[in-house]
Amino acid sequence: MSMQGLVKKKFVLYYSPYYSPDFAGGERIQLVEGIDFFTEDKGFRRMEIDEIESMKYDSTLTISYLRLWRVE
């Protein structure tokens, strides 16, 4: 197994107040390591999880009120 396979993917999650009333007071930013965070139990659809798993370094993806940025 290569060292590349051992590195966990890291994502910055940006929750926008413009798309979700849950964050009316302002945006919220969260750092997530690994793809274990993105599950159907947390509201992600299987298609969205597949898209997140295939994200390349430094790419972004918007899902509803959430913008993801893969940083590692």
Taking the model in full, what pTM does it have? 0.74
Is 2's pLDDT higher than 70? no
pLDDT digits (tens, 9 = 90+) for 11-32: 999 887 665 555 555 677 889 9
Measured CA to CA, the distance from residue 20 to residue 71 in angstroms comes to 24
Domain chopping of the chain, boundaries: 3-70
pLDDT at 7: 66
Using CB atoms within 10 Å of the CB of residue 50, give its burial: 0 to 12 exposed, 13 to 18 middle, 19+ buried: exposed
Tokens 């972004």 found at? 60
Inter-residue contact 57 to 5 (CB < 8 Å): no
